[in-house]
Structure 1
Amino acid sequence: MKKRIHFGFVLVYALVSYFCSCSAFYLPGLAPVSFCEDGKGGEDCQTEIQLFVNRLDSVESVLPYEYDVFDFCKDAKEMRPSENLGQVLFGERIESSPYKFKFKQDEKCKAVCTKNYKKGNQDDTTKLDFLKMGMHLNYQHHWIIDNMPVTWCYDVEDGQKYCNPGFPIGCFVTGDGRAKDACVINAEFNKKNTYYVFNHVDIKITYHSGAEEGWRGARLVAATLEPKSIKNTDEKNPSCEGGNPMEVPGEFNSDVSVVYTYSVTFEENNSIKWASRWDYILVSMPHTNIQWFSIMNSLVIVLFLSGMVAMIMLRTLHKDIARYNQVDQEDLIKLPSSKEKSFLPHEDAQEESGWKQVHGDVFRPPRKGMLLSVFLGQGAQISIMTFITLFLACLGFLSPANRGALMTCAVVLWVLLGTPAGYVSARLYKTFGGEKWKTNVLLTALLCPGIVFADFFLMNLILWVEGSSAAIPFGTLVAILALWFGISVPLTFVGAYFGFKKPAIEQPVRTNQIPRQIPEQSFFTKPIPGIVMGGILPFGCIFIQLFFILNSIWSHQMYYMFGFLFLVFIILLITCSEATILLCYFHLCAEDYHWWWRSFLTSGFTAVYLFIYAVHYFFSKLQIIGAASTILYFGYTMIMVLIFFLFTGTIGFFACFWFVNKIYSVVKVD
């Protein structure tokens, strides 16, 4: 039997590893674009390469801004490609730029535009101050060519090369001569209290020729650049070789003129396939070994918990149940005052453990049963949404190439999964003996989503005030409300209708009319210590993975390892279930039958550790400054904590619900 279980575990692990291979980056069916030289193009082959620009962000500020806010060169015929819901919610603002290239036509030091700032002009002073602020906070450009980020590749420690999907707009040397951020790359950036604008870029576009592949033209497989600061005085005849860097003094005492230029070269490389053109970016992120360490760490925790649960189920409970049920008929004493067939074991065999003594109270409805059922309904909705989203991402459907697809998928799934939320909430509320079904349905549909939307709306107000590109347009907010009230709420009503229509969940034992008195509990079996201890092991499974997730959200690093994330998600489900079952068994043995809320809060307390870790991450890893950025960070963190609380609490509750029903249905005590 053990060999079969071990083989099954290995088989499942191998299948998950195969399907969740982190090489599945691309959305299946994403069509490549072919490029041809000028004069040889057609409908199936483009000749012009359009460079798009995205929002600018910084690790020192939560506030992203649109490209145009910094007074960079604008496209004469500006156009914005259509954006999905996820891109809008993440604050992405993609637009065309004046950087346009002809395929295989190299350009050298071509001027784009000149920006002049006149001393004494208030409008120019405001624009220049905003540009300085961007350099001071190390705001990063994000450029896109053929739906692929233009990267800045540079050497890091141990001779490794890191390819950053963004590059700074400039850098700053402080008043005491300390070079900040990118200013360390050039010894000429040494003037105190001076800003250096990266106004020139050397772009290299690598393509794969289709001459031997059976398709016309060529396909772009890489786009890299190197930012430079070069002072040009003549826009008509710019010189991009040598010269002094483009300085912007800290004090605006004289006119400033910034000439933006670029150079572009094309390089053929047929060894890089189009389907793997993101590899050079992802390989430069050295996280694989750490990820496997996280998986092994989590598996050890799961094996430890599984061993303890197996010991309880196979040894302790098995002996208790066997001793209880194998009492001979002749040793049973009939109660003369009872009209029913109630029996008690003989005194010699009557050594019941604590969990059997509370059989008449273990299914007594909990206090605040409506609130618990509402939480469980929303938790079920979130759990199913998370599983499907991660599974699709693991298969490659929600790759980085398909921008905003992850958030769009999550929102759409949540809206469509209102029926399970209403069904679970209604069924449990009816089992608890509740009768206010209208209130239950309304709270299920509105309470938790309302809290999230209120928090989100307040954060959006701050973004509006700050003029950030992450501010959601009013039309999008109306669309979100329409999805919520037009689709999710009606589906919740439908689920609740079927949930109330079905009979209450049948309990294996009857509940006594008079509650049993709970004996004095030890410190470790009291509610608060047990709940606090219950969230430690599940959090231990995820904290390494959590570091990379927070990096992708707040440090703007690319996250693509959904295979690892899906494995950790499965391990988290198992750990929450087993930890809650263990503590539930210990509390029942201590004759404490209040397990309904405790099972939910035990695994749900993992969210509190998540919040503590987020606070630690804020103060130790991030360099965020400013009151607005701080409020935004903790505001969005609270949304994440609430969602995680509902998810983990629901998993622990249903695991404990199954466990309690299982053991008392086997014993069949009345």
Structure 2
Amino acid sequence: MHSDSRRSVIFCSLLALTQAFYIPGFSIKSYKDGEMIPLFVNKVYSDNSELQYAYTELPFVCPPTGRIRTGGFTSGASLSLNLGEVLRGDRITVSDYELLMGTDDEIHYLCSHTVDRAGLKRTMELIRDGYVAEWIVDNLPGATSFQTTDKSRKYYAAGFKIGEEVITGPGAEPQYFLNNHVTLAIRYHRAPGKDGDQGKKVIVGFEVYPKSIEAGNRTEDGLPGDIQTENHLELIPRSNSTGEIDETDGATLTIPYTYSVYFREEEKLEWQNRWDMYFVAQDDSSNIHWLAIVNSLVISGLLTAVVAVILARTVRGDIKVYKDGGLDDVKVRSKRARGTRSPRKSAEKGGLLDQIADIEGDADVSSDDESLDDITGWKLVHGDVFRTPAYGGLLAPLVGSGTQLIFMATGLLVLSSFGVLNPSFRGGYVSVGMGLFVLAGLFSGYFSSRVYKTFGGQLWQKNVFVTATLIPGLLFATVFILNLFVWAQASSTAIPFGTLVGLVALWLLIQLPLVYIGGWYGYVMVGAWSHPIKANVIPRQIPVQSWYTKSFQAILLAGFIPFAVIFIELMFVFKSLWQDKSGYYYVFGFMSVVSVILVVTVVEVTIVATYVMLCTENYHWWWQSFLVGGSSSLWIFGYLVWYYFAKLHISGFVSSLLFFCYGLLACAVYGLLTGTIGFLSAYAFVRRIYGAIKAD
């Protein structure tokens, strides 16, 4: 009996823990009739600018009074934000809007706010640049409602316009009207389970319909005489006595704010599907996503066939001829490639070829030229292919940081594909991504140290320090410098000083020790990778290369193929980031498939490029494989530049600077990730083929 009681206590405790455990997007909040629903105001943003601004700090907004208290929230209070929310420019504050579940409110007065001439000018600039406001109810962003092109379905675009710019005719001065009235449509559904039996409801939609209503013709309570009026509020200061335009510097405009609230039941829309309304427009393009996958599969399939021919026929045939003819044939071919030596020198010492033979333990050089036609170029560099590359002390930290990014990207894709990360987890991608990146410091130190020791490095602590600080340091320095420009614009996108200090602490106090642990284990406990063939004492001369095998041309040509694989899906990512008002990309299933195909393509392209390079007797493949793997980032950045001029309407120096700098930073991170994949695949390929010819 005592044992059963203990089991019951343990079970109840576990049940309580499971109820307390919160996966973003899966925690249901239900409301009973008459219960207050808090409305949060966040920020304003625009497709034409990279700068965002906190809604409560705008000159035309009524400051919260603190008189509304609901659900533990007090109006005017700022919510605690996670790291991702701070970095994406969120500044969420409780508003004074009163929403009572199930209670319609035809018209409600909020406040009147007086704006001076400077504030009016600033408001006009925001309207001209197309800024929209983001409000939040029950973790749903306020949305503008649209219909699909065939008018069969409705969909949401997050945000609503703060005003309208009207140009009446050619050469006419634009007029600016502020939306000082909003109609809030809250769509609800019966709550699941016991809450539903008790009459509670869950919110499945939040629509905002803004309207501009003139300041005059108001009742004593500040309500408009006719809410359907077509007389709008123009942002022009007027005299309080005459109502005429006031041209003085101290002129002001008093703006009255009102709102309406309506609750409507949505019987067909379940709570777990409420975000689908924001993605209807993207669902209509699913055929194009499938086209992207088919396009990627075709390109990857052709490459797979090429690699299969190289591995199954060419390389295996070369290895067979090599084993049948022996090592002597290669040495004679190497002698011919270097130029015919004098008979006296050949007879006395055999020149460089005898040194190669001594290193490999075989000094018997054959002079039989009849079998040379069967020897291909990649076997001629067997004594130099594993020679330590120049600047290996830089390549090792780059490969280490690349493995760190691979772990982070894989984790984000997996979590997103299973729905753990989703748009309802505001800032989740950045927060979780940062956490994964820091934890992956173990992998970074491990791989960096093993590559460093393979290159013959001795100062492993120095390598660990460079690995832990090089890429994160460059990222932090770039973000910090750009942040100065954002600070100067008083944008909410500016990272607060406290957050910067926290990031530095996260970097130096957590990531650096993890990199050190991984580096110690990789260098001291595991050690270097062994190579099947030792390097010659004296490097062989590399012949003149064809135009397509030269470094820049080869990198540029090889990078186009992975870019072609992701081009179509990349178009959706760009559109979601900079054109769609919703700003949410959610088809991570398609992205995961395309990403897998991309990795396969990068591996195959790098192997082909490395094989061609070795066949031309060029053994400097270490850096080349890394650069070829990451070369598609050049094409992506070029596409980004084209997208800026052809599709976007971003204006202003700071916004353009942020777009290009952060775009370049993202492409560099992508290039580091794919470059590491290319390097590791090329290294495995080279070890495999040269290990095969040495195995006999």
Q: Which one of 430, 438, 453 corresponds to residue 415 of structure 1?
A: 438
State the one-letter code of the partner of 1:473. Answer: P
Q: Which one of 18, 28, 32 corresponds to residue 32 of structure 1?
A: 28
Determine the C-alpha separation between the residues in 2 that align with 1:329 and 1:151: 73
Counterpart for residue 315 of structure 1: 313
Determine the C-alpha separation between the residues in 2 that align with 1:578 and 1:152: 46
Counterpart for residue 506 of structure 1: 530
2:165–2:177 contact (8 Å) kept in structure 1: yes
- Report the secondary structure of 2:534's partner residue: coil
CA-CA distance at 1:342 after TM superposition: 5.6
Counterpart for residue 219 of structure 1: 202
CA offset digits 1:423-451 (Å, max 9, x no partner): 11111111111223333222111111111
State the one-letter code of the partner of 2:295. Answer: N
CA-CA distance at 1:242 after TM superposition: 2.4
RMSD, aligned α-carbons: 2.6
Q: Which one of 389, 393, 396 corresponds to residue 370 of structure 1?
A: 393
Determine the C-alpha separation between the residues in 1 that align with 2:326 and 2:515: 52
Determine the C-alpha separation between the residues in 1 that align with 2:274 and 2:33: 21
CA offset digits 1:624-663 (Å, max 9, x no partner): 1111111111221222122112111101101100100010
Counterpart for residue 552 of structure 2: 528
Counterpart for residue 345 of structure 2: none
Kindly tell me the number of residue pairs found equivalent between the two proteins: 619
1:139 maps onto 2:128 in alignment: no
CA-CA distance at 1:597 after TM superposition: 0.5
Q: Which one of 641, 654, 658 corresponds to residue 667 of structure 2?
A: 641
1:332–1:344 contact (8 Å) kept in structure 2: no
CA-CA distance at 1:96 after TM superposition: 1.1
CA-CA distance at 1:257 after TM superposition: 2.9
State the one-letter code of the partner of 1:430. Answer: K
2:56–2:93 contact (8 Å) kept in structure 1: no
1:333–1:343 contact (8 Å) kept in structure 2: no
Determine the C-alpha separation between the residues in 2 that align with 1:330 and 1:229: 89
CA-CA distance at 1:600 after TM superposition: 0.5
Q: Check 1:228–1:311 CA distance in 2 against 1; reply closer, same or farther (3 A cut).
A: same
State the one-letter code of the partner of 2:323. Answer: N
Counterpart for residue 76 of structure 1: 65
CA offset digits 1:11-53 (Å, max 9, x no partner): xxxxxxxxxxxxxxx9567211111113xxxxxxxx1111111
1:272 maps onto 2:269 in alignment: yes
Counterpart for residue 259 of structure 2: 262
CA offset digits 1:393-446 (Å, max 9, x no partner): 111111001101110011011111111111111111111112233332221111
Q: Check 1:110–1:662 CA distance in 2 against 1; reply closer, same or farther (3 A cut).
A: same
State the one-letter code of the partner of 1:325. Answer: K
- Report the secondary structure of 2:189's partner residue: strand
Q: Which one of 544, 557, 561 corresponds to residue 568 of structure 2?
A: 544
Contiguous gaps of at least 5 residues in structure 1 = 1-25, 39-46, 118-123, 179-190
- Report the secondary structure of 2:26's partner residue: coil
1:194–1:249 contact (8 Å) kept in structure 2: no
1:229 maps onto 2:212 in alignment: yes
Counterpart for residue 65 of structure 1: 53
State the one-letter code of the partner of 2:118. Answer: T
Counterpart for residue 242 of structure 1: 229
1:559 maps onto 2:585 in alignment: yes
2:330–2:375 contact (8 Å) kept in structure 1: no
1:165 maps onto 2:154 in alignment: no
Range with greater deviation from structure 2 (594-603 or 638-647): 638-647
1:430–1:500 contact (8 Å) kept in structure 2: yes
CA offset digits 1:589-622 (Å, max 9, x no partner): 1111110000001121211112111111111111
2:132–2:161 contact (8 Å) kept in structure 1: yes
- Report the secondary structure of 1:159's partner residue: coil
- Report the secondary structure of 1:99's partner residue: coil
Output aligned runs, 1:552-591, within 5 Å. Answer: 552-555=576-579, 557-591=583-617
1:292 maps onto 2:290 in alignment: yes
CA-CA distance at 1:531 after TM superposition: 1.2
1:509–1:669 contact (8 Å) kept in structure 2: no
Determine the C-alpha separation between the residues in 1 that align with 2:329 and 2:295: 51
Q: Which one of 40, 44, 55 corresponds to residue 52 of structure 1?
A: 40
Determine the C-alpha separation between the residues in 2 that align with 1:442 and 1:332: 43
Determine the C-alpha separation between the residues in 2 that align with 1:218 and 1:333: 83
- Report the secondary structure of 2:491's partner residue: coil
CA offset digits 1:493-541 (Å, max 9, x no partner): 1111112213321101121111111112111122221111111101111
2:329–2:375 contact (8 Å) kept in structure 1: no
Determine the C-alpha separation between the residues in 1 that align with 2:50 and 2:330: 72
Counterpart for residue 125 of structure 1: 117
Q: Check 1:333–1:314 CA distance in 2 against 1; reply closer, same or farther (3 A cut).
A: closer
CA-CA distance at 1:192 after TM superposition: 4.6
Output aligned runs, 1:370-449, within 5 Å. Answer: 370-449=393-472
State the one-letter code of the partner of 1:567. Answer: V
State the one-letter code of the partner of 2:421. Answer: L
- Report the secondary structure of 1:524's partner residue: helix
Q: Check 1:150–1:361 CA distance in 2 against 1; reply closer, same or farther (3 A cut).
A: same
Range with greater deviation from structure 2 (133-142 or 72-81): 72-81
- Report the secondary structure of 2:531's partner residue: coil
1:152–1:165 contact (8 Å) kept in structure 2: yes
- Report the secondary structure of 2:544's partner residue: coil
- Report the secondary structure of 2:499's partner residue: helix
Determine the C-alpha separation between the residues in 2 that align with 1:37 and 1:482: 47
Q: TM-score, normalised by structure 1?
A: 0.88
State the one-letter code of the partner of 1:657. Answer: Y
Determine the C-alpha separation between the residues in 2 that align with 1:498 and 1:136: 58
Counterpart for residue 200 of structure 1: 181
State the one-letter code of the partner of 2:437. Answer: W
Counterpart for residue 113 of structure 1: 111
Determine the C-alpha separation between the residues in 1 that align with 2:545 and 2:328: 37
CA-CA distance at 1:73 after TM superposition: 2.3
CA-CA distance at 1:373 after TM superposition: 0.8
Bigger CA radius of gyration: 2
State the one-letter code of the partner of 1:80. Answer: S
Q: Check 1:29–1:558 CA distance in 2 against 1; reply closer, same or farther (3 A cut).
A: closer
Determine the C-alpha separation between the residues in 2 that align with 1:212 and 1:596: 61
